[in-house]
Amino acid sequence: MTRRGATLTFFPRMRATAPHPRALMAAVLVLAFPGPALPQAGATASARDDYAAVLSRYVEGGDVRYGLLFTENPPEWRRYLQWLEEARPERMTVDEQRAFWINAYNARVIAGVLERYPIDSVRDVGFIGGRFRGFFSRREHPVAGKVRTLDEIEKEILFEGALWDERTHFALNCATRSCPKLRAEPYEASRLDTQLDFQTRTFLNGPQGHRIDPAGRVLYVSRILKWYREDFERAGGSLREYLIRNLTGDAAAAARDEAWKIEYLDYDWTLNDVM
């Protein structure tokens, strides 16, 4: 079958000839000694396994054993950071890219903490060169061939264009007690939708996600929903509708009742360290 409007070109039938002995030898050599493999799409199995091993050992209850990771500095961790630096996400599918950048953000947050460990909070990171450069705005994170800031990964990559998904807010861990918990496994394209749904509902229905005040008829929710309210309104139509969709039990009932006010919890910036 040809494309409509395409022009077919016919070539005269060529006479069959026996292959030259040198050509046969070259073919044998190519088969016996293949060239370097082409880069794989998504995380390679070895990179995924390295990161999975790190998360499995050093994440406990959604918090991080920074002290142990700092002391041991395992080869899996070093290899994964090196892979992030050299990866080519532009060759990946949309879901592979989204998983890649979520994992990259979370890993580089950990790396940023370890570079300054011990610290009590990422908010302790401030002035440099006479100017204020907060933890998330420092250009010190080599990912995909470029040194980036965490803000850039979050706001200019994950929440722009095709990668936008409001649930990603609940997958990113900013190394604080009030942030969504860090999964003890990597995000993967094949399971990403399920992982993001789980993160969203688990966080919103947990103590960091909401608290209800029946006497005052107030539903307190995470300040993340205030900071990024436009994303949740874009996904749910309104913040209240988004909460109705994702909360359960008494919290969902409170969200459905227009008489209940929606206010915001205080944010705990204490480092999510396992002591």
pLDDT tens digits for range 92-123: 999 999 999 999 999 999 999 999 999 999 99
**What would the two tokens of residue 1 be?**
């079958």
* 39 has a pLDDT exceeding 70: no
Sign of torsion over alpha carbons 126, 131, 134, 135:
negative
Q: What is the DSSP letter of 154?
A: I
Handedness of CA 147, 150, 153, 155 (dihedral sign): negative
pLDDT at 10 over 60: no
pLDDT above 90 coverage of the chain, percent: 81
Mean pLDDT estimate for the chain? 88
Whether the Cβ atoms of residue 53 and residue 76 lie closer than 8 Å to each other: yes
> 16 pLDDT exceeds 60?
no
- CA nearest to 62, candidates 223, 225, 211, 209: 209
Q: What is the pLDDT of residue 130?
A: 58
Average pLDDT rounded to a whole number, residues 164-192: 98
Going 121 to 127 to 128 to 134, the CA torsion angle's sign is: positive
Cα–Cα distances (Å) from 10 to 6, 7, 15, 16, 121, in that order, read 13, 10, 15, 17, 72
Confidence of residue 209 (pLDDT cuts 50, 70, 90): very high
